[in-house]
Chains A and B, each alone.
Chain A
Amino acid sequence: MSKLKELEQLLTNGKISRRDFIARVSALGLMAAVSPALLSTPAKAATPKKGGRFRMGLAGGSTTDSLDPGTLPDMVPQMANRQLRNSLVETNYKSEPIPELAESWDSSPDATKWTFKLRKGVEFHNGKTLDAEDVVWSINHHRGKDSKSAAKGIVDPIKDIKADGKDTVVFELTGGNADFPFIMSEYHLSMIPAGTKGADLEKGIGTGPYMLVSHEPGVRVFTKRNPNYWKEGRAHFDEIETIAISDVNARTNALKTGQIDAMNRCERKTFHLLKKMSELKTIVGNGTKHYTVPMITTIKPYDSNDARLALKYAVDREQIVKTVLRGLGTVGNDHPIGRNQRYYAADLPQRKYDPDKAKFYLKKAGLEGHVFNLHAADAAFGGAVDAAVIYKENAAKAGVNINVVKEPDDGYWSNVWMKKEWCMCFWSGRVTEDWMFATAYAADAGWNDTFWKHERFNKLLVEARAELDDAKRRELYFECQKIVSDEGATVVPMFAYDLTATGKNVMFENVAADWEMDGMRAPERWWFA
């Protein structure tokens, strides 16, 4: 039956079509066991019902949250932002860019100049009509030398942005980027009316499906449907209540007792029990979220690739996925590209736990007896300390000595990450290969957390970015992944699933996995049965 469950999951997540699903289930002789509700979903999808108050209990809220698109530090403000505002581009469940506030876009042959045509007649919640000036203002909110935006690194490659008439915006980039429309789908880069800044950003004026009624940071965001919403077939709920619930047990209890309709970040240890509950639905998102163990290459002995390979071979990824992730994830291959991404290098051999090879490379690096300090705290990701301890035990069998240094959760990102020579880290991943590499692996990236500088890799990355031929691009990215895996300075032991659960009456189809909660768009995409 577990095969059936797996197929059902694939179908619900849109990874296989209905036709495929029926064919494969019939092959198993299990057709009678399939829930009729599952197959009727597409028929129902044509007419989602309107109405109701959708209550989400989410981890990732703090009393210090703000609605400034330049901050949006975690899930609750991010979800609020997506209810209130749109971006130029949306990504669908297949992680393809589709038009949102931009009706269409086009690039120069070298992909350095991008022209976005805006949708006409879209109004902000305050009645103002969206035009090119608003787009320029919204993007410039993150640019410039006084920018304090968390998205500054993302917009840095934009050399210039200009309005060309009321409905056209032209971006000039410092280098060609064939994936630029994906960048425009980023949640920080959502559209605000020109001139909005400071405290006015907290009013949450946007063009989005819901309008802000009240926001109590770290407690609750309450929104009502925008009667004037421009997108068709979206925003089915009347009201959305986004409740910050940091304790996973409190979230689970609230869902079980019907006080909320959906929760994110389910407890991995009890997820199999949630799956069995008939009054709940569960969603497994196999996205780009991965856990890494970066080594700072400017600190000895991590400058030696032999030392790095010794450590890469010294970890039993299967065991970590089985214990730390409870099987709810997949093993990583020491590069940050997920299995469902466009240019994932499926032919690249999977690196396995190999104590002999680890020993060999350790000897080659002349580091026998060296003690590697591995800095860990659960602030990096839930279970990071456990993962570090397993790593240590695995490595000990290969004669590699690891000393796990337990760091405080508080201030982890400012004091440990990118400061200590080897530590645990978390990446939510990016929809495109280029974006991920450019964020954390390119030599000049602000978040290059290993300070790794590989000439060939950096050359290939720029080349691939501007390459519009798909087959050529695939080759280039294959080599990028191979180089990062074999010569990079990050151990990527695992990719983790996003675990979401909802009440039985919450309906959805083709759930996107690029971000949690259907790509943060559950409020506008889902509905009540």
Chain B
Amino acid sequence: MDNVYGLILKRIGLGILTLFAISIIFFMGVEALPGDLAEEILGQNALPETVAAFRKELKLDLPPHERYIAWLGDLMKGDMGKSLANGRPVADLVGWRFANTLFLAISAAVIAVPIAILLGIIAALYRNSLFDRIISMATLSTISFPEFFVAYILIALLSVQLIIFPSISNINAQMSFWEKIYAIVLPCLTLTLVVVAHMMRQTRAAIINILASPFIEMARLKGIQRTRVIVMHAFPNALSPVINVIALNLAYLVVGVVIVEVVFVYPGLGQLMVDSVSKRDIPVVQACGLIFASVYIGLNLTADVLSIISNPRLRNPR
């Protein structure tokens, strides 16, 4: 197991370096956009003197590298700074939205991952049957439609026509856990439909790949049932690619759902980041960017570690 710990340490070190690089890229990216916060907030109402006063107060008139170093210094002390637009601490703005984003992502994952794996195994079991084709076609169709389209269809059916679920998921702190769950049924379903296909196809392909190996033939020759061969012999050996694709999809559920947030009016991190970029609110953009990047790095690391643990050959290299 030593090499696993070594890997984790090495990857965390590299991860921190990556985050540092990402913060520079984000900063330069927002700087490169035309206009700054003062102009964007005042919009059509901007006058040259009010823009200048705005810049002076928020220190936007300092050169970019000085502002970046000041921000980095504060971050090292654990202070994410304040939103330039409304003076609220970034930690307050980001905190509950990130919790909301995780809540939606986890809820969707809890539904999507087991369904995808189960469907994948069944599809591999009945490969090339009518059932296999129907599942593949259905899941590939839902992934091929744009998310907002799937969302609107679900709203039209389940919210406007049948009046079962709410069409907007504007959850707030006063709601109980079950009220929140009820409110997010439709976005959850949308995301499930969007991510299932990828994981399901990967599971199916990985198992089918393993099914060609000699040890599976051996198991068959011993007379073991097909279901048992697939679940007990093939699937554990197909875990590594499946884990990787699940990690990618989980990362997507956290960082890539801004359109679903907009359609369902869900107060997640994506909308905060989009608004902050369009208003050039750099401290908030940085915080969102670092969180998203950390999620990606963290999930990739977890996937790699789990892949190693699930594979005896990688676990004990010669």
Chain A positions within 8 Å of B, measured between CB atoms, are: 57, 62-66, 68, 71, 73, 145-153, 198-199, 202, 216-220, 243-247, 249-250, 253-254, 256-257, 259-260, 410-411, 413-415, 417, 426, 446-447
Contact = CB atoms under 8 A, between A and B. Distances in A.
Contact of B33 (A57, A73, A247, A411): A411
**What are the 5 closest A-B residue pairs judged by CB atoms, nearest first?**
A64-B85, A66-B86, A150-B45, A414-B39, A414-B35
Interface in B43-72: 43-51, 53-54, 56-57
A63 B275 contact: yes
Given A66-B86, A253-B159, A259-B166, A216 B267 contact: yes
Contacts of B272: 63, 218
A152 B49 contact: yes
Given A254-B167, A447-B44, A62 B265 contact: no
A65 B50 contact: no
Contacts of A152: 47, 49-50
Given A63-B272, A147-B53, A446-B47, A217 B35 contact: no
A8 B284 CA distance: 49
- The DSSP consensus for interface residues of chain B is helix
The winner among B48, B263, B275 for most chain A CB atoms within 10 A is: B275
18 contacts: A63-B275, A65-B86, A66-B87, A71-B42, A148-B42, A148-B50, A202-B87, A218-B275, A243-B168, A245-B170, A253-B168, A254-B167, A254-B168, A254-B265, A257-B159, A260-B168, A414-B46, A446-B47
A153 B45 contact: yes
Given A64-B281, A220-B172, A411-B40, A256 B50 contact: no
Interface in B251-269: 262-265, 267
B10 to A, nearest CB: 37
B82 to A, nearest CB: 9
The winner among B33, B45, B172 for most chain A CB atoms within 10 A is: B45
Given A63-B272, A256-B160, A247 B43 contact: no
B91 interface: no
A243 B170 contact: yes
A417 B43 CA distance: 10
Contacts of A57: 168, 265
B204 interface: no
B163 A250 contact: no
Contacts of B51: 148
Contacts of B85: 64-66
Nearest to A253: B167
A199 B262 CA distance: 28
B54 A148 contact: yes
B166 A199 contact: no
B279 interface: yes
Contacts of A414: 34-35, 39-40, 43, 46
A257 B163 contact: yes
A217 B88 contact: yes
Given A62-B279, A249-B263, A413 B46 contact: yes
B215 to A, nearest CB: 53
Given A146-B53, A256-B160, A257-B166, A413 B39 contact: yes
A114 to B, nearest CB: 24
Nearest to B273: A63
B87 A219 contact: no
B271 interface: yes
Nearest to B48: A446
A96 B42 CA distance: 28
Given A66-B87, A152-B49, A253 B170 contact: no
B192 to A, nearest CB: 20
A238 B275 CA distance: 31
Given A63-B272, A220-B170, A414-B46, A250 B263 contact: yes
B80 interface: no
Given A147-B50, A247-B265, 5 more contacts: A66-B86, A150-B46, A219-B170, A411-B40, A414-B34
Nearest to B156: A253
Given A147-B53, A202-B88, A243-B265, A259 B167 contact: yes
B301 interface: no
Interface in B165-181: 166-168, 170, 172
Nearest to B51: A148
Nearest to A154: B45
Contact of A148 (B43, B53, B264): B53
A62 B275 contact: yes
B279 A410 contact: no
Nearest to A411: B35
A413 B38 CA distance: 12
A148 B38 contact: yes
A513 to B, nearest CB: 20
Nearest to B52: A148
B43 A413 contact: yes
Contacts of B87: 66, 198-199, 202
B285 to A, nearest CB: 11
A516 to B, nearest CB: 16
A259 B47 contact: no
A406 to B, nearest CB: 15
B196 interface: no
B216 interface: no
Contacts of B278: 62, 410
Given A62-B279, A202-B88, A411 B34 contact: yes
Contacts of A198: 87
B189 interface: no
A517 to B, nearest CB: 18
Interface in B116-170: 152, 155, 159-160, 163, 166-168, 170
